[in-house]
Structure 1
Amino acid sequence: MVGGGQLARMTHQAAIALGQSLRVLSESPDDSAALVAADVRIGTHTDLAALREFAKGCDAVTFDHEHVPTAHIAALAAEGVKIYPGAEAILYAQDKRQMRERLSALGAPVPQWRPVASAQDIADFAGSVGWPVVAKAVRGGYDGRGVWMLDDLAAAEELVGTGTELIVEERVPLRRELAALVARSPFGQVAAYPVVETVQQDGICVEVLAPAPDLPEDLAVEAQQLAIDLANALGVVGLLAVELFETEAGIVVNELAMRPHNSGHWTIEGARTSQFEQHLRAVLDYPMGETSLTAPAVVMANVLGGEPGGMSLDERLHHLFAADPGARVHLYGKQVRPGRKIGHVTVLGDTMTEVRARAVRAARWLQEGQQ
C-alpha cells in the first residue's frame, strides 16, 4: 500500500487475518502504518523510481490516498504491476473537473457547475444560480481544504488571484450528507454497504451514522445502485466512496474517493466485513464479503486532537473504558495537534439516539478530557 497513514494502518490489521503481509511505502518511519507494519519502505509517492523498487515482489499494489501521479500508475501497470485502482479510474478522484465532466456525461446527478478561467466566469455562473457559490480547487483538498464559499465578485477575484485552478458549483440546498460505499473486484463483482449519514463540522467529518436514520428505502437503494454503476463505469477496483448530498429532489454526487474512507470506519465492528478487508479482497480478487450490519445502530465518531495540557491520552482511554466498556477505540499513533484526526470511536446498540450520544461523549472525552 502506497501511503503510511491511518488507512494503511487499519488495512494492515485486516491483512493479518487474511494471512497476507502488507508492505507500506511511507514518507516517514513515524507515520501511522510505519509504526506497526513489519515491511516498511521509506520514499515518496511522487518518485517513480521509489515506486518501482517498492512494487518489486508485490502481488498487488494499492493506495491509502489518491495523490500518486496517474503517469506513474500507468507506467507501473505497463511494466506488469497489478496496481489498483488504475490510472484511468483514479483520475476521477484526483481531478474534480474531470470528475464532473465524466459524471455529467454518464447522466449522474451532479450540482450545476462550470470550469473557471476568470473571476468573471464565477460571476456569470452566480448570475444564473445565485450567490453564494462554491469554488473548489481542481486538485488536492480534503477535510474542508480547497473549498471556498464565495459571496460576491470581490471574493471571486481574490481567490482567482491566487492562481489556484478552480471549478465553481451551485450551493446545493441539502438536507444532510450521505455516503454510499461499494467495493469492486477486477472482474466486476461488487458489494455495497448500507448507506450512511455523515455529519460535518468545519469541513471535517465528525460522525458517521449507520444506517442513515429515516432514509427512505427507495432512496437508499438508488444511492447504492448509483455507487455500483459509477464503480463499473469508471472501472474502479477496490473501494469507492461516493459522497452525496440529500436534497428535496433526491441525491446529488458531491465527491468520489477510491480507497478506504472515513465514512466506512464504522465497518470494523459494525459490518460483517470491514471496508479494509473488503478493499484487500477486491484488489486481490477474492470473493466479496458480507456487508450487513452487526447491530441495528452503529455510530463512528472521529477523535480530534485537543489543546495541550491535562491528563494524557492513555489516561483518558483508561477512564473511558471504565465509563463505557462497550466503546471501541482506534487510535492512529499520530502526534496530537488541535483539530487533527488522531483516532475514532465506534459504538453499537439498538437505538440510534442512545448509540450516538455514547459515541459523541466518548470522542469528546478523548479530545478534551471531560464529559
Structure 2
Amino acid sequence: MPVTYPIVGMVGGGQLARMTHQAGIPLGIRFRLLAASADESAAQAVADTVLGDEKALGDLRTFAQPCAVVTFDHEHVPTEHLRALEADGIAVRPGPDALVHAQDKGVMRERLAEIGIPCPRNRIVADPADVAAFADEVGGWPVVLKTVRGGYDGKGVWVVGDTEAAAAPFRAGVPVLAEEKVDFARELAANVVRSPHGQAVAYPVVESIQEDGVCREVIAPAPDLSEERAVEAQRIALRIAGELDVTGHLAVELFETRDGRILVNELAMRPHNSGHWTIDGAVTSQFENHLRAVLDLPLGDPRARAKWTVMVNVLGGDYPDMYPAYLHVMARDPGVKVHMYGKEVKPGRKVGHVTVCGDDLDDVRARANHAADYLRGSITE
C-alpha cells in the first residue's frame, strides 16, 4: 500500500519545531525540518533535517520540494521567497500576505487600524525629534520604541524617557515604530487556530507574566477575567485570523488596561509560548491543531482538561547541567510535567518549561514555580 501521509515542512530549528514534530508523531504525519545547524533544538529530534539558510532561496526550494505544505517556527523568511515557493506550487501556510503582519509591526498596526481592532496609539517615527513630537501627541514620556522587523523576547524594544534615550533604536538604520506606553493591569494572550476552509477554534484566554521582556509564567485560564472580557479577547483574535486570512495558529498578545479595555500588543502566526500549557492542559495542543490546520484537517477540541493549568518557563541560570535536578523535582512532585529543549544553557535563555494542572490555583502556581526554580538552580531545596 502506498504511503499517503503528507510531509509537513517547518522552517526553523527551535523548540517550537521540536514540539510540533512531537505532536505529529501519533498522527503519522511525516516531518521535514530546515535548520541552520545540527545542534539546534528540533534538529536533534527530527530525522529528516536539511541544513540550510531560510534567507537563501535555493536552500529553501531544495528543502520544500517534497513537502505537502511549508510552515514556520519563526517569522524571519523573506516575503519574496515565500511567493517564489507558492509560484513553484508549494502550499505555504500561513501565506506571505498573512505572515507579513507578524513580520512587520508597521504593516500590522496599519492593517489592524483599518479593521477597527483596538491598539495602543502609534506611528512610524523618523528620528529622535519625531519621537519627542509623538510623546507630546500621546501625553508625554515615556514612550515605547520598536524596530518594525526582527524583535522578539524584549529584543528590538526600548522604553525611553527623553530625546537622548530615543536615539538608540535609530542607530541600526531600520524603521522605528513609536507606541504609547500603556498603563496596563496585566498581559493576556488569546490563542486561536484557523484552517484554510475557515474552521476556527479558540483556546481559553491566558494571563502571561513577563520577566525582563521574557515570558516567565502563563496561567490558564486568566484568573478573575470576566466572561465578557474573555469572549471579547477571543472574538478579537478570531476576527484578526479571518481578516488577515491566517492559516494555522495565531497568538494575539494583549494588554488589559486598568480602565478595563483590551488592546492588541503583538501577533505571532505560529505556535507560541503562551500556548505551551496546552500540551498537558488542553484536549488538543496548539501544536497538534497547528498541524491539523496547515493540512486542512478538522481541528481538535481546544478546551482545558483541568480547572487550572500553569506553565512556567525554565530560564537558564548558573547550572549548565539540569539533569541532576530531575531526581528532586520528580520525586517531590510526580504531577509536574517537565519539557526540556536540548538547548545550551545560557543565563535568561528559555531552555525548557514545566506544567502543572489542578483545582487550586495557589497550589498549582507554587508547584510549577518551585520546579522551574529548582531546575534553574535559583533554589536548592
TM band (smaller chain): over 0.9
CA distance in 2, matches of 1:308, 1:19: 37
| Match in the other structure for 1:10 | 19
Structure 1 residue identity aligned to 2:292: R
Give the aligned CA root-mean-square deviation in angstroms. 1.0
Amino acid of the residue matched to residue 301 of structure 2? E
Provide the secondary structure at the position in 2 that maps to 1:62. strand
Superposed displacement of residue 249, structure 1 = 3.7
Cα displacement (A) at 1:162: 4.2
Q: Which amino acid aligns with 2:309?
A: V
- Which of 285, 289, 294 aligns to 1:274? It is 285
Deviation at 1:332, TM superposition (A): 0.2
Structure 2 partner of 1:69? 78
Residues paired across the two proteins, number: 369
Task: Name the amino acid aligned to 1:188.
Answer: G
Match of 2:295 among 264, 271, 284: 284
Equivalent residue for 2:95?
A: 86
Matched, 1:353 2:362: yes
The yes-or-no answer on 1:257 pairing with 2:257 is no
Report the counterpart of residue 303 of structure 1 in structure 2.
Answer: 314
Question: What CA distance in whole angstroms lies between the structure 1 residues aligned with 2:352 and 2:197?
Answer: 34
Same amino acid, percent of matched pairs = 58
State the TM-score, normalized to the length of structure 2: 0.95
Q: Aligned partners of 1:18, 1:318: CA distance in 2, in Å?
A: 32
Cα offset, 1:308, TM superposition = 3.9
Structure 2 Cα separation of the partners of residues 321 and 158 of structure 1: 45
Matches within 5 A, 1:207-286: 207-247=217-257, 248-286=259-297
State the one-letter code of the partner of 2:187.
Answer: E
Could you tell me how far 1:158 is from its partner in structure 2? Answer: 4.1
Secondary structure at the residue paired with 1:242? Answer: strand
Residues 247-302 of structure 1: CA deviation (Å, up to 9, x unaligned): 11410000000000000000001000000000000000010100111100000000
Gapped runs of 5+ residues in structure 2? 1-9
Letter in 1 for 2:330: F
For 1:53 and 1:158, the matched residues in 2 are separated by 39
Q: Corresponding residue for 2:116?
A: 107
Q: Distance in 1 between matches of 2:380 and 2:114?
A: 50
In structure 1, C-alpha distance between the alignment counterparts of 2:367 and 2:347, rounded to whole Å: 22
User: Does the CA-based 8 Å contact 2:95-2:247 persist in structure 1?
Assistant: yes
The one of 89, 97, 108 equivalent to 2:106 is: 97
TM-score (norm 1): 0.98
SS at match of 2:70: coil
Contact 2:283 2:301 in 1 (8 A): yes
Q: Distance in 2 between matches of 1:17 and 1:157?
A: 51
Q: Report the Cα offset of residue 161 of structure 1.
A: 4.0
Q: How does 1:170-189 map to 2 (within 5 A)?
A: 170-189=180-199
1:82 offset after TM fit, Å?
0.7
Distance 1:317 1:79 in 2: 48
Looking at structure 2, the residues matched to 314 and 150 of structure 1 have their Cα atoms a distance apart, in angstroms, of: 40
Deviation of 1:164 after TM superposition, in Å, equals 3.5
